[in-house]
Amino acid sequence: MSESEEKSGKQVSNENIGSLDKLHEDLKPKIQFSCYLCGMFEECHYKGKEPPFVSGSVKFREESYVIRDPFIAPPPLGKSKAEYFIIIGTQCVICKNLVCKGLSCSFYYNVTYCLSCLEEVMTKLPKEVQVRAKKQIANSK
Ligand SMILES: [Zn+2]
Ligand SMILES: [Zn+2]
């Protein structure tokens, strides 16, 4: 018979909980995004090309739906961190439907195409891009 017990008592100071609550309130995602192909639903913090929380240093080519990475602390003012946010999805350049960044939903080449529009524009893409696009379509089926 053996008996072992391990317990570590950690005391965490909770002095800043009040201001943390307010911070979390500010961080609440409010913009709804849902992918028209897979139905993925997400609440985003920002929709647009220049997310304010990266201090204007990042510009997306397309209007994007963005969430802040909940596991990374906000960078100091004036500095940006690429890993600080996640792009959830964007609008298909052709059908204007919202698609997520999933490989079975969208394809990116300068702009974002949903996979069903991708098949339509396929012949207009450069050869090497077509190869990549066809592979992705094949994998998504
Ligand atoms: Zn999707
Ligand atoms: Zn489309």
Tokens (6 digits) for 66:
């963005």
Sole residue written with tokens 């998504």 = 140
Residues with CB under 5 A from ligand 1 (ion): 35, 37-38, 40, 100, 102, 105
Residue 71 Cα to ligand 2 midpoint, Å, equals 32
Distance between first and last Cα of the chain: 56
The model's pTM: 0.71
Those residues whose C-beta lies under 8 Å from the C-beta of residue 51, and which sit 6 or more positions away, are 45, 58, 66, 85
CA angle, residues 61, 86, 38, in degrees to nearest 5? 90
pLDDT digits (tens, 9 = 90+) for 88-121: 999 999 999 999 999 999 999 999 999 999 999 9
pLDDT digits (tens, 9 = 90+) for 13-56: 555 566 667 666 666 888 999 999 999 999 999 999 987 766 55
Residue 5 Cα to ligand 2 midpoint, Å, equals 58
Residue 3 Cα to ligand 1 midpoint, Å, equals 51
